[in-house]
Amino acid sequence: MDKSEKTVLVAGGAGFIGSHLCKKLLDDNYKVICVDNFLTSDKNNLQNLLKNPEFTLIEHDIIKPIQNSTLRLGLGQSLDYVFHLASPASPNKKSAKSYINYPIETLLVNSVGTYNLLQLARQFEACFLYASSSEIYGDPEISPQKEEYFGNVNPNGVRSVYDEGKRFGEAMTMGFVRKYDLDARVVRIFNTYGPLMQAQDGRVVSNFINQAIRNKPITVYGKGSQTRSFCYINDMVMGIILAMSTSNTKGEVFNLGNPDERTILELANLIKKMTNSSSEIIFENLPKDDPKSRKPDIAKAQKMLGWRPKVATEEGLQKTISYFKNII
Ligand SMILES: NC(=O)c1ccc[n+]([C@@H]2O[C@H](COP(=O)([O-])OP(=O)(O)OC[C@H]3O[C@@H](n4cnc5c(N)ncnc54)[C@H](O)[C@@H]3O)[C@@H](O)[C@H]2O)c1
C-alpha cells in the first residue's frame, strides 16, 4: 500500500521528539495527525509542519477520550498507526515543565492517556507504540541495562510519578496485546538531545549548552560522576519508526539509546570546550533518587530492527550547539 494512504497519529507530536517524528513521517509521505495539549511545549516546533496539507493539528488532552469526530478523518480514511509520546519528560524540578512540577498530570497521561490511545488503536485496528523511558530501570544495579532487567525504582519517591507512570503504561500496553491481540510495542527511550529541545526545560544537554554559550556557570549536580548516554534525535526517530514498522515486533520491548556512556562532568567539560566558553563549572546538591548510571544494552534493537545510532556524541553536540547559537 502506498504510504500516502496511511494515516498516523502522534500524541505529544508538538514536543521535542514528537515534532521530529511528525516531520520524518510527513517526509516519508504519511498523513499525520498530531494530538497535543501543549502542557510542556508550544506551536513553535510545528511552524513548518502546519503549512503541510497532510498535517493536522488537534489540540486535545489525551486524558480525555478522543472521539472519532475530533480526529477529523476523511470519509473511509483509516487510522493505521498510533504513536504515544505524550508526557512531561524533564526531571529537573527547577524547570516549570518538569514532571516533578506536574505529578498528577504525568501519572494520568501515562495511565488514563495510554488507556485512551490503546482503545483508539483497538477501534481502528491500528498498530500502537508506547514511548516508555530508561527511567523504568530507576537507579539500576546493573550496567548496561538489558530489557530483561526489572529495575530498582522507589515506588513513592519524587521521581515515582514518572517512573511508575511509565511502568504502568508498559503494563497497560502489554495488557492490550494479551487480552485483545493488539499489534502494540514499547520503546524505552534513553536520554535524547538535539535541535528543537527547549532551552528552559531543564534537561542536562540543553542546560549545559545554554549556560556555556552565555558564559554562565555550568551547574553539575553531585560530583558529576553519575553517567548518562546521549542519543542524537535523528537516530532516535529512526529507531522509533523501525520499532513500529518492523514485522514481528508485536508485544516486544526495545531499549533505544546510544551506548556511548559519559560522566556528567565529562559532558560539562566537553560542551565547555566545544563552545569556547569561559563558564566555570559549579556543583550543586544531587537531586533525590538521581540514578548513578544509564547505559542501554541495544543488542535486541540491533538484531531485530537492524538499528543502532549513527551520530557520534561530538557530532550531535556540534549540531545542537549551532542550533542554540542561532536561536539565542
Ligand atoms: N527526551 C528524552 O530524552 C526522553 C527520554 C525518555 C523518554 N522520553 C519520552 O518520550 C516522549 C517525548 O519526550 P520529549 O522529550 O519529546 O518531551 P516533550 O515534553 O518535549 O514532549 C511531550 C509532549 O507531550 C505533550 N503532552 C503532555 N501531556 C499531554 C496530554 N495529557 N495530552 C496531550 N499532550 C500531552 C506535551 O505538551 C509535549 O508536547 C515522552 O513520553 C517522554 O517520557 C523522552
Question: What pLDDT, on a 0 to 100 scale, did the predictor assign at position 102?
Answer: 97
| Ligand 1 in reach of 133 Cβ (< 6 A) | yes
Average predicted confidence (pLDDT) for the chain: 95
Question: What pLDDT, on a 0 to 100 scale, did the predictor assign at position 65?
Answer: 94
C-alpha span between 43 and 50 (Å, rounded): 9
Question: What pLDDT, on a 0 to 100 scale, did the predictor assign at position 139?
Answer: 93
Catalytic residue among 81, 130, 162, 232: 162
Q: Output the residue whose Cα is nearest ligand 1's atom 20.
A: 15
* Known active-site residue 149: no
Ligand 1, pocket-test mutation among 9, 83, 85, most atoms within 8 A of CB = 85
C-alpha span between 215 and 247 (Å, rounded): 49
Q: Atom of ligand 1 at shortest distance to CA of 39?
A: 37
CA of 42 to the centre of ligand 1 (A): 12
Q: Output the residue whose Cα is nearest ligand 1's atom 38.
A: 15
Query: Does residue 278 or residue 77 have the better pLDDT?
Result: 278
Q: Which residue has the cell 553531585?
A: 222
pLDDT at 1 exceeding the cut of 50: no
| Ligand 1 in reach of 86 Cβ (< 6 A) | yes
- Quickly list DSSP for 238-281: HHHHHHHHSTT-TT-EEEES---EEEHHHHHHHHHHHTT--PPE
With a CB cutoff of 8 Å and minimum separation 6, the contacts of 53 are none
The 10s digit of each residue's pLDDT in 287-306 is 888 899 999 999 999 999 99
- Quickly list DSSP for 121-182: HHHHT-EEEEEEEGGGGBS-SSSSBPTT---B--TTSTTHHHHHHHHHHHHHHHHHHHHH--
Question: What pLDDT, on a 0 to 100 scale, did the predictor assign at position 116?
Answer: 98
pLDDT at 95 exceeding the cut of 70: yes
- Quickly list DSSP for 66-134: PPHHHHTPPTT----EEEE--S-----TTSTTSTTTSHHHHHHHHHHHHHHHHHHHHHHT-EEEEEEEG
Q: Atom of ligand 1 at shortest distance to CA of 63?
A: 31
pLDDT at 114 exceeding the cut of 70: yes
Q: Atom of ligand 1 at shortest distance to CA of 203?
A: 3
Question: What pLDDT, on a 0 to 100 scale, did the predictor assign at position 2?
Answer: 52
Span 141-147, mean pLDDT?
95
| Ligand 1 in reach of 197 Cβ (< 6 A) | no
Query: Greatest CA span in the chain, whole angstroms?
Result: 60
| Ligand 1 in reach of 57 Cβ (< 6 A) | no
CA of 241 to the centre of ligand 1 (A): 16
Going by C-alpha positions, the residue among 11, 43, 40 that lies closest to residue 203 is 40
- Beta bridge partners of residue 132, listed in sequence order: 188
CA of 226 to the centre of ligand 1 (A): 24
Distance of CA 52 to the CA centre of its chain: 24
C-alpha span between 79 and 124 (Å, rounded): 6
| Ligand 1 in reach of 115 Cβ (< 6 A) | no
| Ligand 1 in reach of 14 Cβ (< 6 A) | yes
Question: What pLDDT, on a 0 to 100 scale, did the predictor assign at position 4?
Answer: 64
Span 112-128, mean pLDDT?
97
CA of 213 to the centre of ligand 1 (A): 26
- Quickly list DSSP for 177-240: HHHH---EEEEEE--EE-TT--TTS--HHHHHHHHHHTTPPEEEETTS--EEE-EEHHHHHHHH
The 10s digit of each residue's pLDDT in 49-70 is 999 999 999 999 999 999 888 8
